[in-house]
Chain A
């Protein structure tokens, strides 16, 4: 009889533990799912506690830079394709066009500089809209992109 009693206590404990776990986890994961549709800008607003005015100005700054960033990233992709073609040529034909490689290196260097400048300018202008604490948190987020 005592064996059944202790078994019952174990079963009740396990069921209560699992129920508490699932109840808590489902409640919070449902909250997170509700906000999972946020895009990057909305996330940034909530993350940095931006005011409406700050958010509007920062969104405008990003919108203004969008076409430039797209153009630069298209050039990055084109250069990657160019490098892949040069490598394919080297593998299949055993031919290395050093002039093309030099041109690629030069174009890559200039493009990297242009990309870094574009990113740094955007980060600086966005940071100017923020107060000191917001800027500190923002720079922590974008740290890897700063050059």
Chain B
């Protein structure tokens, strides 16, 4: 038994004499300790999985190709949206040309 163990025993001995008026204190303390121990290991497990996949050439290639396809898909969606907006704008503009009741028809005066 080294010096630190001796000090810990003394501290625990003192703890026995402390009267705590809380029935579930012990269970709460142990629950928090268990939670502290669990959280730090969750993320590294995920990262370890990602890391172990990405170091394999096949999965690395799949990841890069997925990124490229995702980028192209997003770009296509943006282009379609732009085209649709432009189409609507020109249709609206044409309607203003032929319909005097629509506002802004007279702005061209």
Q: A88-96, A98-106, A117-125, A128-136: which one contacts chain B?
A: A117-125
Interface residues of B in 52-76 (CB under 8 A from A): 52-55, 60, 63-64, 66-72, 74-76
- Taking CB atoms, residues of chain A closer than 8 Å to B63 are 9-10, 13
A24 to B95 alpha-carbon distance, docked (Å)? 32
Chain B residues in 8 Å Cβ range of A145: 95, 98-99, 102
Q: Which of A6, A47, A62 has the most CB of B within 10 A?
A: A6
Tally chain B residues at the interface, Cβ within 8 Å.
40
**Contact residues in A for B66 (Cβ distance below 8 Å):** 13
Query: Cα distance A77–B106 when bound, in Å?
Result: 8
Residues of B within 8 A of A29 (CB): 79, 82
- A73 beta carbon closer than 8 Å to chain B: yes
Which residues on B sit within 8 Å (CB–CB) of A5? Answer: 54-55
Contact A25 B83 (CB under 8 A): no
Q: Does B101 contact A (CB under 8 A)?
A: yes
**Chain A residue contacts of B54, Cβ below 8 A:** 5-6, 9-10
Whether, in the assembled complex, A50 has its beta carbon less than 8 Å from a beta carbon of chain B, the answer is no
B109 within 8 A of A: yes
- Are A70 and B102 in contact, with the CB atoms below 8 A? no
Q: A9-B60, A13-B64, A119-B100 are in contact. List 14 more A-B contacts (CB 8 A).
A: A10-B63, A12-B64, A16-B67, A20-B72, A21-B71, A24-B71, A38-B90, A72-B100, A73-B100, A74-B109, A76-B101, A141-B94, A142-B98, A145-B102
What are 7 of the A-B contact pairs (CB < 8 Å)? A2-B51, A6-B53, A9-B55, A13-B66, A16-B71, A17-B70, A141-B94
